[in-house]
Amino acid sequence: MENIDYPMQTLAEPFRIKMVEPIRMTSLEYREKALKEAGYNPFLLSSEDGFIDLLTDSGTGAMSQAQWAGMMLADEGYAGAKSWIKLEKVVKELTSMPFVLPTHQGRAAERILYGILGGRDKVFLSNTHFDTTRANIEYSGATALDLMPDEIMENDKFLPFKGNIDLIKLENSINQIGNNNIAAIVLTVTNNSSGGQPVSMSNAKAVRKICDQNNILMVIDGCRIAENAYFIKHRESGFENYSYKEIAQEMLALGDAFIMSAKKDGLVNMGGLLCIKDESLSKKCMNQLIISEGFITYGGLSGRDMEAMAVGLEEVFDESYLHYRIRSTAYLGEKLHTKGVPVIWPIGGHAVYVDAHRLFPGIPVDQYPGQVLVCELYRIGGIRCVEVGSVMFGKYDDHGRLIPAAQELVRLAIPRRVYTQSHIDYVLEVFDHIMKNTSINTGYKIIDESPFLRHFTAKFQKIDNNGNT
Ligand SMILES: *Cc1c(COP(=O)(O)O)cnc(C)c1O
């Protein structure tokens, strides 16, 4: 592998722009009206009403010329398409898993696998269950427990692998619950809901060992496996001379199953994967796949989707791409940190997480400080992003009082290969305005919500200084 050195400080994007998509700025009045009409939930805004869209890094990336060219050559055969055979080969080589099932996105793979493994009395253990992961597990009737190390809550503390699962909590939980009731251990790599923080190879190996000792299935939810490999190469000793792909291969080989939303490190706008080692489990999954997604050689995908994914899964391990990817996310996070914006430290792979509770200490948690920041970023700068706090993870007690999430975060997710450094400089300038008014002390009330994944559709009302809406 060649080791490129990067002598300059300026992070120049390792691509040229060949096709442009215009974006437009709107007026403050326009955005205030749009926000109100969307019930103060940016998920309900029209995408063209925003200027910079940091809502998610999922399916929002730009494809390369090689991916677009591949799409023109794709085979749309119903069964055994050439594009499927190409994708299957790439995925088998990456995961070393013999059974590869294409799905239309990550949650379809989750619903299939967790629907089969889950059910009442079953428990899933994870470093952190992503929101759709938790929803699919809970929908099956099972319980999802997050086992994060306590010290990851220290948002300022530098730890190289804050995404790790806590091994002591893991062993204690297995002892308490009994391995027969544990459906699987799900290692989320990188750990999306916990700041996009990486998981070390040694942590993954320890989980494998615990799974072997207790006869428990190990699932890797690895939609950001390439980004995680970058952190391992640069932070974990012993991997300096590995390629990013070799690191990913070594980690994926540890799992019994691999779930991937290809909308992340697959570098495509739509697609997912479910890979399985065990033949009998794979057969059960294939039955479900045929019922709900499509035949086993296309799942929910067209031939061109699979072609683009096959190319994307190779490109994502490119050294200049990964360097640019991780460093450009860090560029935003480090600059915000310097401005005094409280961010989760160190900066993760795909997103910067702002601690809205610390930014707006006057806003009560049950008035959703994260939602306030989300709305302010849109109002002031046309920036769209998502709350990852009590709107996303809050529950209610028997008296209808909010049981808040552990943290009130806001996620600024960076789409892959989409925005340039000057777009990010613009975001930083919007934060200068936010920082001028951190004494806001009222927030929002939820007036409409659904029982699962409520953050997608919830509607809010503003609370004024007298506590009225
Ligand atoms: C995005 C994501 C999923 C769900 O994938 P979709 O393609 O959005 O359905 C699952 N797990 C993690 C960690 C994710 O980031």
The CATH number of 66-315, from 3.30.70.2190, 1.20.970.10, 3.40.640.10, 3.40.50.880, is 3.40.640.10
Neighbours of 77 (CB within 10 A): 13
Distance CA 315, CA 107 (A): 23
Task: Give per-residue burial for 279-291: e unless 16+ CB within 10 Å, then b.
Answer: eebbebbbebbee
Q: Ligand 1: does its nearest atom lie under 6 Å from the Cβ of 107? A: yes
* CA 162/CA 153 separation, integer angstroms: 9
What pLDDT is attached to residue 3? Answer: 66
Q: Using the atom order of ligand 1, give the atom closest to the CA of residue 261.
A: 7
Q: Provide the phi-psi class of 340: left if phi over 0, else alpha when psi is between -120 and 50, else beta.
A: left
Pocket lining: 385 vs ligand 1, CB cutoff 6 Å = no
Q: Where are the alpha helices (DSSP H) in 118-200?
A: 131-139, 167-177
Q: What's the CA-to-centroid distance between 464 and ligand 1, angstroms?
A: 36
- Ligand 1 neighbourhood includes 263 CB (under 6 angstroms): yes
DSSP strand pairing (123-126 vs 182-188): parallel
Phi and psi dihedrals of 322, rounded to 5? Answer: -65, -35
Q: Helix %, strand %, coil % for the chain, to 5?
A: 45, 15, 40
Question: Could you tell me if the CB of 132 is within 6 A of ligand 1?
Answer: yes
- Give CA–CA dist 247/251, Å, rounded: 6
130 within ligand 1 shell (Cβ under 6 A):
yes
Look at ligand 1, atom 4, and give the residue with the nearest C-alpha.
106
pLDDT digit string, tens, across residues 314-373: 999 999 999 999 999 999 999 999 999 999 999 999 999 999 999 999 999 999 999 999
Q: What is the pLDDT at residue 9?
A: 82
**What is the domain partition of the chain in residue ranges?**
28-57+318-462, 66-315
* Ligand 1 atom 10: residue of nearest CA: 106
The whole-number pLDDT of residue 378 equals 98
Using a 6 Å cutoff on CB, does residue 221 contact ligand 1?
Answer: yes
Is the CB of 136 inside a 6 Å radius of any atom of ligand 1? no
Q: Judge whether 351 and 329 are in contact, CB under 8 Å.
A: yes
* pLDDT on residue 36: 96
For the 28-57+318-462 domain, the top CATH level (class) is alpha beta
Which positions ≥6 away from 249 have C-beta within 8 Å? 93, 94, 95, 96
- Which parts of the chain register pLDDT below 50? none
Task: Please give the pLDDT value at position 1.
Answer: 53
Q: Determine the pLDDT at residue 320.
A: 95
Task: Give one DSSP letter per residue of 286-303, joined into a string.
Answer: HHHHHHHT--TTTTT--H
Per-residue model confidence (pLDDT) at position 192: 84
Q: 36-90, pLDDT tens digit by residue?
A: 999 999 999 999 999 999 999 999 999 999 999 999 999 999 999 999 999 999 9
Q: How far is CA 430 from CA 22, 41, 425, in A?
A: 20, 19, 9
- Residue length, the chain? 469
Q: What number of CA atoms fall less than 13 Å from residue 71's CA on the CB side?
A: 14
